[in-house]
Structure 1
């Protein structure tokens, strides 16, 4: 029996300490979705088969191909049970598929797209992660001369304009820790 699995894509790295010259891409929502395919699974002696996918989060899907998106970034084990339609026999745990969303590099932050001068804006990088790093610092460059750090921060712009706010994740060790990464998002400040 064969099952296919599709996960998130890798993210470009930023050189450590570089907040000015690097062009930081837009945040990309890292969908926590899987596509599974058991169409190649056959058992000529058993006849037609029904596939039951226990997705590890309480969801049960049926069919030779399924798609599912998870709501929480954690590790799951998908269990495939196969039912022989002719006899009703259930082959429990015919296949177990581990899916771990805690090991993916995630660069994303939330903020309001348009604000007024002087209005405090909340910036949130709670979903971002560098999983191989022991100590991660979140740096913010608001592109108006103000820089700060923290997973959740507030900032009020003093002048109208368009600002490409940058959020960088910087990991500090161990050696397997990836280099720093950054993303940017445009915030329009109106009078």
Structure 2
């Protein structure tokens, strides 16, 4: 049991002060002198005593101690309705807690609250401060009670760890787990963990993952530090093998038709006992896709030649890349004939056709080869008067209902 008490001589001092004043003013015609009134309650005339039962708690995070506060005035009488604020010390062990942060005394001048024990592996004892609330916070006298937490936690931790898989490959993620580490015979919840992967990297935390960048044997060292600053280490050797990266990459087919969805199939071979986990297709037209299936559909919007880049990744994270040219046709054939009359030429594109059952909806004509189309429409036959003889480069562009286009160019000489 711990007890603290504070008393004041304020009332005696006040009485003496009045007597002195009476002597000094003896010649004056004062019939009587009165002792000045005393304002209260005040922390200056408050005595606090604190007791804890029990005054020791195990570090289990659940046991409780009941603390009783008794407040008395300068005459030793119970103080009723006295407010008292409560707080834990700044270095309270982890898990320690108060049931409340303020109490008020009852008719007997007493109040109680509970303190919860800290958790296993915590450091230090519990200190509780109690401060009466009065009229001058600067004069408030704080009283402290201490509750011992057991055990004292002075033994260094015992470092230990496991890892999986037991025989990893280069680039394969290995998981290291230090949950078998103990401190004071229990799991080390307040410890810090530092991993050194044999010069191939470092990490922190109860669990850590690492992918070794090369094959060989690596001595992995775990360093554990508990809350008291005690350390211990554990070491294990990890043997890493180096499988080959995926090979035999290809994509089929290598042709497609603009505006029509085409199914492509990628193929690749992983190292023995491993598998391909992802396929990335960069189509060469600004689009790309990544998925875990080798079969995919893609639609090229225009005819032309496109460089498709295929990247595959295996279950070790290793990747390989190959390029494949995809030839995309419009599915259209643009053609025209000419007939001349003086400087007038009639152009007929009726022979143009679609190989994909689409409908040609527009015929555009560039009569002079300047790159600008002079006329267009749904009629495949059109006439143009050049107004003079000469040689002219004529281009026809047809467009179907899919939006696909195809061009054809000829040279026309007049006369």
After TM superposition, is the score higher than 0.5?
Answer: no
Q: Choose 1 or 2 for highest CA Rg.
A: 2
More strand by share: 2
Query: TM-score, normalized by length of structure 2?
Result: 0.21
Give the structure, 1 or 2, with the largest relative contact order (CA under 8 Å, sep 6 or more).
1
